[in-house]
Amino acid sequence: MYTFFAKILTVLLPYGDGDTLSSIECESGSLKTAFDTNVHIEASVSYPLVPETSLLTRYANEIVQKEAYELYDTFMQEISALQEEPSEQDADELRFRYDLSLVRSTPILMSFYGSKYEYRGGVHGSWQYVTKTFLRQDNTIRELFLEDLFLPGSRERLFRYCEDYFKLNQYDDYTWGGFNSEHLDAFLLTEKGLLLIFQDHILSGYEDYPTTLLIPYLKLVSIVNPSNSLPVDFVGP
């Protein structure tokens, strides 16, 4: 239980010598329930409520809240289905928790980081680190994905950069098994560069925190998509 609470309260991301990425304080919204049937059930979601001073913040709030509610509802519906088939459930407790924090906010860019935890039996639950970035360009606001930022085929080039980095720096726990370009989906646009966040057990079987890799923007200029991506000069404070 100690590990569970320690991880969900972590909102700092180390990415270099002494650098951290901290959450920005603001109000939050939440849903929470706990009850007992044939098993103990707990579910909660927490998400930021950013002061709506622009179309960007209003849009981000709507999407963030909607997705938090959808995750909560999906879990509760799945639990309800399990209760109808108790023979299919061998765990003595079922838990779900989703926490999201605002980690960057500029007039044109907002980024969120968080985690999703689920336990349905066994020795450990499952963790997933979550990132969301929203961009305003003129009167258009959209959520950014990796393919929006770079030229076609660049995901594989980014993956090779990551792989070479871990080899060069002798990442001791790197298993070299199963790590591929599909594991680059969690990212944040920081002031210093593209921050990639790798899920637990992707690079090692022993991680108890997210492994991160910061790639300076200057190293990405050659693969930036000039028509659909976030221009490098937009990422400043």
**What digits encode the pLDDT tens for the residues 66-85?**
999 999 999 999 888 776 66
Report yes or no: 4 and 126 within 8 Å, Cβ to Cβ: no
Report the pLDDT averaged over residues 24-31: 93
Q: Is the separation of the CB atoms in 175 and 167 below 8 Å?
A: no
Instruction: Lowest mean pLDDT of 140-149, 171-180, 186-195, name the range.
Output: 171-180
**Where in the chain are the domains?**
1-144, 145-230
In this prediction, residue 63 carries a pLDDT of 97
Q: What pLDDT sits at residue 19?
A: 60
Q: How far apart are CA 197 and CA 211, in angstroms?
A: 6
Band of the pLDDT at 207, cuts 50, 70, 90? low
Question: What is the rounded distance in angstroms from the CA atom of residue 60 to the CA atom of residue 208?
Answer: 30
pLDDT surpasses 50 at 139: yes
Q: Poorest-confidence range of 140-154, 166-180, 215-229?
A: 166-180
Fold (topology level) of 1-144: Heat Shock Protein 90 (3.30.565)
Confidence (pLDDT) at 39: 86
Class for domain 145-230, per CATH? alpha beta
Please report the pLDDT score of residue 61 as a whole number: 97
pLDDT more than 90, % of the chain: 33
